[in-house]
């Protein structure tokens, strides 16, 4: 085997490895995780793939909030000290991109993970 | 022969691999920041450029607009105008006067039937300004409606006056869209330019790429659930949505949303949401924001003629979900449904 052939072989091998690594990084998927933030600071992270129901007690800007993950992939606000109760009435979040927001408490629950397929949400 | 091809093949594969690797490695991660102001969530997602600084500056610009237009803040020009209602005229800044003029011009499109910045005494009556929600009597509503129209507003240059002492204006219906106008003006001047910036100000979007991106995929929120009902594709644009799910209260199982229909004095019930896409031109953020209310409060029968009126003024398209959940689009946009109607 000639020296130049070996170089060609090594170059092909490196290129293939880089392609595979890139592909894996690009297509890496995580299970749905809900991130709870107050004033843009993460106060809790909930694994929505967990089959165990979970109740979280957090403190918003106005007061306490009770957040429930039902163990079936959904998360919602069960109780909140806000005048409008919009967060409590919001449909539970379960898919990447879904949110439950309590504006008076500066609290946002976001389901993270790839797969929303859109750039922005008109809402 | 074989010898001649091998290096070429190697070069092609190596090139493809390296390109993929470096494209991935050098494409900057977006920086997302969330703030709370104007009674809503303000989220900025910037990719490229000095992203964190850009996000902070955009927040500062939104705060400036809030200080200028707020219904509540002592330093705001709205508070000064309202405090002088029935007493005399007030001198406002050229920017404030221009915004008022824009809002009044949008009101005129439908003769004040579907959007009115002077409707705010009714918003107060329903408790939306104090969060002390209640359902007023029909008499209270008709009494209040008598002085809750922009014909009480006298605008001359930078001088503003409210004739009736009980009249009030509220620029909440244009302030978020106007903030996006101010942000877009700033983003154009930023060096180095970010690759793209997505601003979501309480449902009002600014999609910015400096004109480079033409395939923005904009999801339309399901007004009665999580996720989207479909999407539209767009160039750089302002996208304003007025929906009955943004701010509302419930009494006896009935939903009362914060958008008061100026023709009745009751919260709008004809539609669940209206999304307006406007092109990137000065004041088109504010205009789109106001038109969201116009289409939200419009019956199906008048939407097409309304659209024809505004189409030449930068409105690219409109997506409406009516009270029954039926979707319709106006303009040369394609709505791709992702859920059954
Ligand atoms: Zn709440």
Is the same domain home to A81 and A22?
no
Whether B218 sits inside 8 A of A119 (CB atoms) is yes
Q: Distance (Å, rounded) from C-alpha B236 to C-alpha B259?
A: 27
Select the residue from B6, B25, B41, B240 to test the A interface by mutation, using most A Cβ atoms within 10 A.
Answer: B41
Residue B246 near residue B202 (C-beta atoms within 8 A) = yes
Nearest alpha-carbon partner for B277 in B177, B127, B183: B177
Whether B13 sits inside 8 A of A16 (CB atoms) is yes
Is the same domain home to A82 and A45?
yes
Q: What is the pLDDT of residue B339?
A: 80
CB within 8 Å of B118: residues ≥ 6 apart: B148, B149, B150, B152, B153, B162, B167, B168, B169
Determine the 3-state secondary structure of B289 from DSSP.
helix
What are residue A80's DSSP bridge partners? A65
Is the same domain home to A42 and A78?
yes
CB within 8 Å of B315: residues ≥ 6 apart: B276, B277, B278, B287, B288, B291, B307, B331
Q: How many domains does chain A have?
A: 2
Q: What value does the mean pLDDT take over residues B248-271?
A: 95
Residue range B141-164, pLDDT digits in tens: 999 999 999 999 999 999 999 999
For residue B46, the chain A residues in CB contact (below 8 A) are: none
Which residue of A lies nearest to B215 if distances are taken between CA atoms? A119
pTM > 0.95: no
Whether B219 sits inside 8 A of A121 (CB atoms) is yes
pLDDT band at B54 (very low <50, low <70, confident <90, very high): very high
Q: What is the pLDDT of residue A28?
A: 45
Q: Distance (Å, rounded) from C-alpha B232 to C-alpha A113?
A: 22
pLDDT at B170 over 90: yes
User: Burial code of B51-66, b = ≥16 C-beta within 10 A, e = fewer?
Assistant: beebbebbbebbeebb
User: For residue A65, what is the DSSP state?
Assistant: E
- Supply the mean pLDDT for chain B: 93
Radius of gyration of chain A measured on its C-alpha atoms: 22
Residue A46 lies in a domain: yes
Select the residue from B5, B20, B249 to test the A interface by mutation, using most A Cβ atoms within 10 A.
Answer: B20
Instruction: Let me know if domain B31-337 sits in CATH 3.30.1490.20.
Output: no
Q: Distance (Å, rounded) from C-alpha B269 to C-alpha B290?
A: 17
Chain B, window 254-273: residues with a beta carbon less than 8 angstroms from a chain A beta carbon: 273
H helical segments located in A43-106:
86-89
As to burial, measured by CB atoms within 10 angstroms (0-12 exposed, 13-18 middle, 19+ buried), residue B67 is middle
Range of the domain at A92: 33-112
Is the same domain home to A12 and A48?
no
Nearest alpha-carbon partner for B237 in B268, B215, B261: B215
**Pick from B17, B248, B319: which is nearest to A19 by CB?**
B17
For residue B15, the chain A residues in CB contact (below 8 A) are: 15
CA distances from B168 to B17, B161, B163, B339 (A): 64, 10, 10, 42
Helix (H) or strand (E) holding B272: strand B271-278
Nearest alpha-carbon partner for B221 in B87, B64, B339, B91: B339
Delimit the domains of chain B by residue range: 31-337
Whether A5 sits inside 8 A of B6 (CB atoms) is yes
B140 to chain A, any CB pair closer than 8 A? The answer is no
| Spans in chain A with pLDDT lower than 70 | 1-2, 19-31
Tell me which of B12-16, B283-287, B313-317, B319-323 is least confident.
Answer: B12-16
Residue B115 near residue B297 (C-beta atoms within 8 A) = yes
For residue A98, the chain B residues in CB contact (below 8 A) are: 226-227
Is the same domain home to A25 and A41?
no
Is the same domain home to A56 and A78?
yes
The residues on A that touch B, with CB distances below 8 Å, are 4-5, 8, 11-12, 14-19, 21-23, 25-26, 37, 39-40, 83-86, 89-95, 97-99, 101, 103, 106, 108, 116-123
Residue A120 lies in a domain: no
Q: What is the pLDDT of residue A29?
A: 44
CATH number at residue A105: 2.60.320.10
Residue range B77-134, pLDDT digits in tens: 999 999 999 999 999 999 999 999 999 999 999 999 999 999 999 999 999 998 899 9
Q: Distance from B321 to chain A by nearest Cα, in Å?
A: 12
B57 to chain A, any CB pair closer than 8 A? The answer is no
The torsion of the CA quartet B328, B305, B153, B61, rounded to 10 degrees, works out to: 50
**B204 cis-preceded (ω within 30 degrees of 0):** no
Is the same domain home to A57 and A108?
yes
Q: Distance from A81 to chain B by nearest Cα, in Å?
A: 13
Residue A119 lies in a domain: no
């Amino acid at each position: 085997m000639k020296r130049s052939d070996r170089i060609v072989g090594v170059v092909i091998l490196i290129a293939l490895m880089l392609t595979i690594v890139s592909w894996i990084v690009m297509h890496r998927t995580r299970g749905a995780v809900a991130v709870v933030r107050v004033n843009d600071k993460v106060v809790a992270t909930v694994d929505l793939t967990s089959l165990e129901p979970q109740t979280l007690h957090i403190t918003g800007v106005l007061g306490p909030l009770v957040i429930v993950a039902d163990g079936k992939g959904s998360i919602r606000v069960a109780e909140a000290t806000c005048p409008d109760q919009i967060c409590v009435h919001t449909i539970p979040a379960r898919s990447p991109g879904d949110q439950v927001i309590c504006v008076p408490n500066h609290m946002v629950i976001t389901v993270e993970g790839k797969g929303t397929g859109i750039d922005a949400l008109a809402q | 022969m074989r010898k001649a091809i091998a290096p070429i093949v190697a070069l092609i594969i190596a090139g493809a691999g390296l390109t993929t690797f470096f494209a991935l490695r050098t494409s900057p991660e977006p920086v997302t920041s969330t703030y709370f102001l104007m009674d809503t969530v303000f989220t900025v997602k910037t990719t490229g450029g000095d992203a964190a600084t850009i996000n902070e500056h955009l927040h500062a610009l939104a705060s400036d607009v809030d200080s200028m237009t707020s219904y509540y803040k002592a330093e705001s020009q709205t508070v000064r105008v309202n405090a002088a209602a029935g007493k005399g005229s007030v001198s406002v800044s050229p920017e404030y006067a221009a915004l008022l003029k824009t809002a009044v011009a949008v009101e005129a499109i439908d003769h004040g039937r579907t959007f009115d910045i002077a409707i705010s005494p009714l918003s107060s009556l329903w408790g939306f300004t104090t969060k002390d929600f209640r359902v007023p009597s029909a008499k209270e509503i008709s009494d209040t409606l008598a002085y809750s129209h922009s014909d009480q507003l006298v605008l001359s240059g930078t001088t503003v006056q409210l004739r009736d002492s009980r009249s009030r204006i509220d620029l909440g219906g244009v302030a978020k869209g106007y903030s996006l106008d101010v942000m877009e003006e700033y983003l154009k001047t930023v060096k180095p330019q970010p690759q793209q910036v997505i601003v979501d100000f309480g449902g009002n979007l600014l999609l910015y790429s400096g004109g480079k991106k033409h395939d923005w995929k904009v999801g339309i929120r399901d007004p009665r659930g999580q996720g989207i009902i479909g999407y539209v594709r767009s160039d750089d644009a302002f996208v304003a949505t007025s929906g009955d799910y943004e701010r509302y209260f419930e009494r006896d199982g009935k939903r009362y949303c914060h958008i008061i229909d100026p023709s009745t004095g009751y919260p709008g019930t004809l539609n669940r949401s209206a999304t307006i896409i406007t092109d990137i031109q000065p004041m088109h953020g504010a205009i789109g924001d106001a038109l969201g209310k116009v289409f939200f409060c419009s019956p199906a029968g008048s939407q097409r003629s309304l659209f024809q009126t505004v189409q030449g003024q930068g409105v690219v398209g409109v997506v409406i979900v009516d009270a029954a959940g039926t979707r319709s689009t106006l303009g040369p946009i394609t709505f791709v449904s992702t859920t059954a109607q």
